[in-house]
Structure 1
Amino acid sequence: MSKFGELIDINLPVLLDFYADWDTGSRAMHPVLRDVAAALGDKAKVIKIDADKNKELSEALRVKGLPTLMIYNHGEMVWRQSGEQDANTLITLLNKYI
């Protein structure tokens, strides 16, 4: 969990994607997240977290549905949504914290 704190407590907004390879919605988000990361470059971080391999973290954050997306800004969660999102929505949300 201390590594998680290091991931989110930075001076950039962080988009977390909790996913699973077996989940269709999660797989559909892969190209969307690549587009978001490419559009924002070094102004934000996009981090994918395999929910199956990180069960303790997933449970601690109460991740129930996949994909679950979260935005952290300076270590605090500022947005959370389960289900697929489009790149423009995510870019707009992240831009609020840049």
Structure 2
Amino acid sequence: MNSNFNSIIKSKTPVLIDFYADWCEICKMLAPILKEAKSELKDNIKIIKIDVDKNQNLAKQYQVRGVPTMILFKDEKPVWQQSGVLQKQDIINIINQHS
């Protein structure tokens, strides 16, 4: 995943990474919110889900201490990071601030 990850965040489009775990109930609440945000923002954002249990090195590299954790990348650099669930409009506002 590490080599794929680097090519994913090289995108000209901002990339929102959702670090999650299958056992995490809060993560399951975030999934449909991210889907709605993606459908509203269309091609202005890429949203990628990364399972922390299968990608522990990546989670450690970005200091993911809890799930869900969202990190927004722009031009290969993290520009925003937060753990927990946000409402759709809050996520859209954050993405638009960094677009």
- 5+ residue gaps, structure 2, are none
Distance 2:19 2:88 in 1: 16
Distance in 2 of aligned mates of 1:9 and 1:96: 19
Q: Does 1:82 align with 2:83?
A: yes
Letter in 2 for 1:55: Q
Q: CA offset at residue 97 of structure 1?
A: 2.8
Q: Report % sequence identity.
A: 37
**TM superposition outliers: structure 1 runs of 4+ over 2 Å:** none
Name the CA distance, whole Å, in 2 between partners of 1:39 and 1:83.
21
Q: 2:56 corresponds to which letter in structure 1?
A: K
Give the superposition deviation at 1:35: 0.5
* Cα shift at 1:59: 1.3
Question: C-alpha separation between the residues in 2 aligned to 1:93 and 1:84?
Answer: 13
Residue by residue over 1:33-70, the C-alpha shift from the partner in whole angstroms, topping out at 9 and shown as x without a partner, is: 10011011111101111111111111111111110001
Unaligned 5+ residue runs, structure 1? Answer: none
Partner of 2:69: 68
The whole-number CA distance in structure 1 between the counterparts of 2:4 and 2:82 is 23
Rounded Cα–Cα distance in structure 2 between residues aligned with 1:93 and 1:23 = 24
Tell me which residue corresponds to 1:46.
47
TM-score w.r.t. the length of structure 2 is 0.94
> RMSD of aligned C-alpha atoms?
0.9
Deviation at 1:2? 2.0
TM-score, structure 1 as length reference:
0.95
Match of 2:95 in 1: 94
